[in-house]
Amino acid sequence: MSVLFGEEHVRRYRETDGEEGHIWREGSTVLLLTTKGRKTGNETTTPLIYATDGDNPVIVASKGGAPEHPGWYLNLEKNPEAEVQILGDVFRVRARTAEGEERERLWEVVNEVWPHYAEYQEKTDRVIPVVVLERA
């Protein structure tokens, strides 16, 4: 199977309850995050690599080390209420950005799932946000 991206990734993930699309490159795990657009109000779904901290999924606003935050993160800053799908489980979350010691601990956890985050951090001057998705 080819590696999924973007809208095709979202479509196949939903159609198969994550049987296709949950496991991605290098064995990383992917969830679907649906946010409300900060400008349009429209819902947008983004496939994102995640780790877990207890029952909470943890995602990273890396955008590959770009100088600006990804759109989904800016959407969560405006409205932290979102929807997540992990495999066949769809649930509401409230997002928050980890700070201080919690961020440092979770940074290590997410880098175990996707070691490239450390490379992305080296490419940008911004501190890449680590986001905890707490079930609502």
**What is the tens place of the pLDDT at every residue in 117-132?**
999 999 999 999 999 9
The predicted model gives 108-125 an average pLDDT of 96
* pLDDT score recorded for residue 24: 92
* pLDDT score recorded for residue 6: 86
Q: Which of 72, 78, 65 is nearest to 128 (CA)?
A: 65
CA distance 128 to 9: 24
The predicted model gives 64-74 an average pLDDT of 97
**All domains in the chain, ordered by first residue:** 6-135 (2.30.110.10)
Sign of CA pseudo-dihedral 10, 62, 103, 24: positive
The predicted model gives 29-48 an average pLDDT of 97
Please name every residue paired with 94 in a beta bridge, in sequence order, or none if there are none: 81, 134
CA distance 114 to 60: 10
* pLDDT score recorded for residue 1: 41
- Please write the tens of the pLDDT for every residue from 4-34: 778 999 999 999 999 999 999 888 999 999 9
Q: What angle do CA 15, 21, 25 make, to 5 degrees?
A: 170
* pLDDT score recorded for residue 31: 98
Query: Across all residues in the chain, what is the average pLDDT?
Result: 95
pLDDT greater than 80 at residue 3: no
3-class DSSP state of 121: helix
3-class DSSP state of 127: coil
